[in-house]
Structure 1
């Protein structure tokens, strides 16, 4: 048996970047910052790169903004490439999102996106 599951809850570090392909596929990438539960409040957060595909990517691109509180369930993968200038192999860990949950209230999400529109209800 093998297991590769990651559960994270944190705040988006930037607005998502979306890319559409000629094949019709869509990918959405963004980062999330997660504070460690320690007694030292001065410790910097851990940063994770996230990647979503398909319908999840479209939802993330429409609703996640910098500062949004999100929960994700996914798997750890490694992107590998050769550095153009040195030819050395590089790698970066990425969380491939299986499930995205938009957390926090609507008011929190609006404040995170700095939007200024009025609701009539």
Structure 2
């Protein structure tokens, strides 16, 4: 039996990059910084990929520094580098559920998307990794 499930709470490292397709679907890509238990450690960075209605929520409400909770799975993106011809890969978290955890003011009027389950609260400025 295999399990591929990721649950993270952290802050958006940049505004989402949104792409629209002729089929009508859309994808939002962004990074997320997750602090370690010790404040002396550097945060871990994750690449996020969000599809569909939740991608629209990310496009409308997520900005650099927004506090997010996500549930998703890890996939490995693979491609051939155009300049060197080398095979490349990077891990990406495909988000199944996105939660906006900051205050309404932080999220410009947004609320949780997809129900509760992560808790809330805003960390102090010391906890923001950038």
Q: Which residue of 2 aligns with 1:116?
A: none
Distance 2:105 2:21 in 1: 33
Q: Which residue of 2 aligns with 1:54?
A: 52
- Let me know the Cα RMSD of the aligned residues: 1.0
Q: Which residue of 1 aligns with 2:118?
A: none
Q: Which has the higher helix share?
A: 1
Distance 1:75 1:59 in 2: 19
- Flag as ranges the 4+ runs of structure 1 deviating above 3 A: none
Of 64, 75, 78, which aligns to 1:77? 75
Q: Where do 5+ consecutive residues of structure 1 fail to align? A: 111-121
Q: Where do 5+ consecutive residues of structure 2 fail to align? A: 109-130
| TM-score normalised by length of structure 2 | 0.79
Counterpart mapping for 1:1-121 below 5 A: 1-38=1-38, 41-110=39-108
| TM-score normalised by length of structure 1 | 0.85
Rg comparison, structure with higher value = 1
Distance 1:108 1:87 in 2: 43
